[in-house]
Structure 1
């Protein structure tokens, strides 16, 4: 991943809505499960799953396709 791609990824994550960003970072970086995140924020695991799906969708839209 180039530095420009890393910067774009960081900016995309920072621009996510706060709950979506928090769920994404806790799941992907801290390794927390949906249930653990749900307990921490007082939400249902299905809501955590929806936040993660939204985060991944926005990240995929922001990043250029990988060259193989």
Structure 2
């Protein structure tokens, strides 16, 4: 039962960012969803969750390869994406990887924390506006924002150099 919960959490955190990444390559939303769903099905079927050291890197690289394979299969590879190389190391040369990591980290926050974080950082609401909207105290909002930032910082810590490189 614990493995199911772990897999579900991975799916919920990474599905949307991976679909967006696949779509950036394929330009086909439905096919991108299929690619990502098949990726997760393969991981589950093959029992690979326990063997993956860095899920983000593994998933990003796998989706990239599956998306490029799809393009090859429809014989549009040369004309649509000539600049992409299969041998690229994910996260080091791909400008989409930091955004994917950040979105996955935000989606991985607990529900209420994510809601407060999104209202503050994405929608630009003040702590007071969020407190009024959600009918909670300003201190509760502050706590959710603090906890959210801490969790995101912890999740992204292994990729610190990548984020610093992307700012250059």
Question: TM-score normalized by structure 2?
Answer: 0.38
In the other structure, the counterpart of 1:18 is 111
Matched residues, number: 68
CA distance in 1, matches of 2:124, 2:109: 19
In the other structure, the counterpart of 2:84 is none
RMSD across aligned positions (CA): 1.6
The alpha-carbon deviation at position 2 of structure 1 amounts to 3.0
Q: Which runs of 5+ in 1 are unaligned?
A: none
Does residue 122 of structure 2 align to residue 29 of structure 1?
yes
In the other structure, the counterpart of 1:9 is 102
**Runs ≥4 residues deviating over 6 A:** none
Structure of larger gyration radius: 2
CA distance in 2, matches of 1:2, 1:57: 24
Ranked by relative contact order (alpha carbons within 8 Å, sequence separation 6 or more), the top structure is: 1
Determine which structure has the larger helix proportion and give its number. Answer: 2
CA distance in 1, matches of 2:133, 2:107: 20
Q: Which runs of 5+ in 2 are unaligned?
A: 1-93
